Amino acid sequence: MTTTVPRTRRTSSPDGPLGGLLGSGDAWTDLLVLAGIAAAATTAAGTVVWAAGCSLSLLADHGFGPGLGATLRALAHGTGPAGIWGGVPAWAVVVLAVAYAAAVVLAIAVGVAWWRRRHPPREGYGSRSQYAHLLPGRAALQHVARLRPSLRGRTRLAPSDLGVPLGRFGSARRGPLLRATWEDVVLAICAPRSGKTTCLAVPAILEAPGAVVVTSNKADVWDLTAALRGRDTRERVWTFDPQHVTRTRQDFAWDALDGIDTLADARRLAGHFLHEIRRAETSDFWDRDAEDLLTALILAAALSGAGLAKVATWLTSISAVEPRTILARNGFTQLADVMTGRSHGAHETREGVYATARAAAACLSDPAIMAWVTPRPGLDLFDPAHFVRSHQTLYLLSQDGAGSAAPLIAAFADRLLLDAVRAAEHTRTGRLDPPLVAVLDEAANICRITELPRLYSHLGSRGIVPITILQSRAQGRRVWGQGGMDELFSAATIKLIGAGIDDPTFADDISRLIGETDTRVRTRTHGRGGGTSVTTRRERALPADQVRALPKFTALLLATGIRPTPIRLVPWMDGPRADDIHATASGLDAAS
């Protein structure tokens, strides 16, 4: 059952009063704008008439006449030109006023043409019309009606119903706010302290209309958003924090082995542990065999109901018979035979495989971490299938480094994405409504989901909006390999390139994606026959050095099928929830 989330500001749909006419989406705002336009037009017309009347009055030796304010008041009371300027004919005032107005319009047109000639638009950037579906207006509302059937027929929509906030179009502080649609998948590459948490993570979490999954290795995003999400949604906020990043008391557990009954399921979970050490220069042979070993032990633990802690126990004994017996008893005889053969293999090979598996699953030996994935009385049990259909929020936090809970963070997030896909497949439209938003901050450090590049190719079509935040392209390549990172970059329909890109090859790639533009070059020659000549040459619209030097709180937006454009990121401190966040943060400080 969908719950109604309190909203602080609502806008009208295209069917509402003046909907889509001015693009604001709010009927009262549109009426105020129209009233302002009418007042400005009336004042401008009165000013032109006053200028014409004063000019004719001076020519007739009647003096300059009354001031602008007095003239406008007299005109408003029905006094004609003759009464205002002492006998000046009305027709003469009208003719001269029309001439003045035409001269002003002509001057403006000439000025605009001159400015455009001196400052032509750069060809490499996308235009505002090309980004219409990401901006407030009719195109965005049509996307919402198609992607979220539950909102059809609504007379008013909240801005957050339109999509995930990205930033303001162009570089102006007051430009219109761009929002990713509910079928976009987002990849943000921003250096540390470039605004990725304050400008991307926090607004996306607070404006999400459905369930939210957040990963982080710091407490800041939790401090700023957890209490507000609970207050806004009036639903539960879960904090999975095995390493006490937020110092939150444990009140629930997640059974990581729940639902694992096939070899494929066990291998997927084992892959998250092996992915943790694949950055190191280990042999492919050890990795492959260690993954097979972990797969067998995880499957045996799931089939027996022993729990993940049992896997760590079995890893300490190469000759353990229990997992082989469990596998054989449940029909996995071939896997049991492989384990038997490995236990009788060469000593060096056997030790190398088990050592690699122990290093990958080091966190399973930590009782403090295992307590969070071991159900027991007194703790609530997290239900992924229920979560993905709710408005609840889940924070997944871990420290970096060896022995951290990062493999479990990746496994938890991966399980939720898969359950969300399954839930979407059972809906009439094949999409989640409301959508699930997954903010994968520090994804390359604590949420190395092995299949993430492949997931990106279809999550958007299921109403699942992932926002993967990386510090650099090189960081992504260390985790997913060059091919995997290229696949992730290509599959992302919305890419944000923020400040601090120090990779020269990547900066040059972005520069080439933006393209080239025509630049006029003036050449002056001196001496006899000298003069000035103007030539045109092609050059990068945004050279690589300027990509590297992007200011803080700015980014380049690359949307599928549209030329890139610069945008201005909006920190939460400048957003509509700034006061609420400040009050929440103050309350947390006082409590601590």
343 C-beta neighbours (distance < 10 Å), count: 15
3-class SS at 3? coil
Dihedral angle over CA of 269, 272, 277, 282, nearest 10: 60
Q: Is 153 exposed, middle or buried (0-12, 13-18, 19+ CB in 10 A)?
A: exposed
Question: What are the respective helix, strand and coil percentages of the chain, to the nearest 5?
Answer: 50, 15, 35
The Cα–Cα gap between 174 and 497 comes to 21
Q: Are 189 and 196 in contact (CB under 8 A)?
A: no
**Which residue from 218, 212, 206, 224 is spatially nearest to 247, judged by alpha carbons?**
218
Output the pLDDT for position 586.
Answer: 56
Residue 435 tokens, joined? 């959508």
Ordered DSSP codes for 4-17: PPP-S--EE-TTST
Q: What tokens appear for 529 in the block? A: 């026959």
DSSP-H helix ranges across 15-89: 27-59, 68-76, 81-85
Q: For the segment 366-376, what is each residue's pLDDT rounded down to a tens digit?
A: 999 999 999 99
pTM of the model: 0.79
Closest CA relative to residue 443, chosen from 163, 180, 195, 189: 189
Q: How far apart are CA 301 and CA 312, in angstroms?
A: 10
**Confidence at residue 588, expressed as pLDDT on a 0 to 100 scale:** 52
- Tell me the pLDDT tens digit for each residue of 27-85: 555 666 677 777 777 777 778 787 777 877 777 767 777 777 777 777 777 677 767 77
pLDDT above 90 as % of the chain: 54
DSSP letters spanning 132-195:
GGGSSSHHHHHHHHHH-GGGTT-SEE-GGGG-EEEEEESS-TTSPEEEE-TT--EEEE--TTSS
Amino acid at 322: E
CA angle 554, 176, 162 (to 5 degrees): 105
Report the pLDDT value the prediction gives residue 119, as an integer from 0 to 100: 53
Q: In a 3-state reduction of DSSP, which class is residue 210? A: coil
**What is the spatial distance between Cα 471 and Cα 481, in angstroms, rounded to a whole number?**
15
pLDDT of residue 57: 75
What are the backbone angles phi and psi of residue 468, rounded to the nearest 5°?
-90, 125
pLDDT computed for residue 9 by the predictor = 36
pLDDT confidence of residue 98: 86
Nearest to 463 by CA among 231, 229, 210, 230: 210
SS3 state at 385: helix
Strands 156-157, 11-12: pairing kind: antiparallel
pLDDT on residue 190? 93
Strand-pairing partners, residue 167, are 178
Contact 187, 494 (CB under 8 A): yes
Residue 371, classified by CB atoms within 10 Å of its CB into exposed (0-12), middle (13-18) or buried (19+), is middle
Coil, helix or strand at residue 215: strand
**Cα–Cα dist 505/515, whole Å:** 15
Residues whose CB is less than 8 angstroms from the CB of residue 152 and which lie 6 or more positions away in sequence, other chains included: 145
pLDDT by 10s per residue, the chain, length 592: 333 333 333 333 333 333 333 344 455 556 666 777 777 777 777 787 877 778 777 777 677 777 777 777 777 776 777 677 777 777 777 887 788 888 888 888 888 777 666 555 555 688 888 999 999 888 888 889 899 999 988 878 888 899 999 999 986 677 899 999 999 999 999 998 888 899 999 999 999 999 999 999 999 999 999 999 999 999 999 999 999 999 999 999 999 999 899 999 999 999 999 988 875 444 466 788 899 999 999 999 999 998 899 999 999 988 889 999 999 999 999 999 888 887 777 778 888 889 999 999 999 999 999 999 999 999 999 999 999 999 999 999 999 877 899 999 999 999 999 999 999 999 999 999 999 999 999 999 999 999 999 999 999 999 999 999 999 999 999 999 999 999 999 999 999 999 989 899 999 999 998 888 777 777 777 766 666 776 777 888 889 999 999 998 999 999 998 999 999 999 999 988 999 998 887 555 444 4
- Distance (Å, whole) CA 40 – CA 42: 5
- What's residue 527's pLDDT? 65
Question: Which element (helix H / strand E) includes 470?
Answer: strand 464-470
Amino acid occupying residue 217? N
What pLDDT is attached to residue 231? 94
Identify the bridge partners of residue 12 per DSSP, sorted by sequence position.
156
CA distance 435 to 431: 8
> How far from 376 is each of 152, 261, 369, 382, CA to CA, in Å?
44, 21, 14, 12
Paired tokens of 465 = 């909006």
Instruction: Fill in the amino acid letter for 173.
Output: R
Task: For 238-283, give the DSSP string.
Answer: EEE-TT-SS-PPP-EE--TTTT--SHHHHHHHHHHHHHTTTTS---
CA contacts within 13 A on the Cβ side of 117: 7
Measure the CA–CA gap between 28 and 342, rounded to whole angstroms. Answer: 74
Question: Count of CB atoms within 10 A of residue 328's CB?
Answer: 17
Give the per-residue pLDDT at 24: 42
Closest among 218, 138, 151 to 441, alpha carbons compared = 218
